[in-house]
Amino acid sequence: MQDVIDVVRDVVGPGLGVDIGPDTPLLSTGIVDSLAVAELIERLNRVGARQLGVEDLGVDNADTPAQLLDLISP
């Protein structure tokens, strides 16, 4: 889980001022915007067992770090 949270923090940058936890909504709140999605996917593909594409991420299934972990886990 910490790997996914670290990836999200790296993508959004330290200046955000939001504590990222397992259940922090990312897409629905704009913490991760459409411009950052491609970078997020690239970095998650480096740490995950399953490779993701843009079509795999949506507010319903990839809004939180916990959901992202589920997506990249075997």
DSSP per-residue letters across 10-35? HHH-GGG-----TT---TTTTSS-HH
The owner of tokens 């259940």 is 23
pLDDT in tens, 16-25: 778 899 999 9
Mean local confidence (pLDDT), 5-23: 87
Strands (E), 1-74: none
Q: Has residue 44 got a pLDDT over 90?
A: yes
The owner of tokens 């913490």 is 31
Q: Using CB atoms within 10 A of its CB, is residue 40 exposed (0-12), middle (13-18) or buried (19+)? A: buried
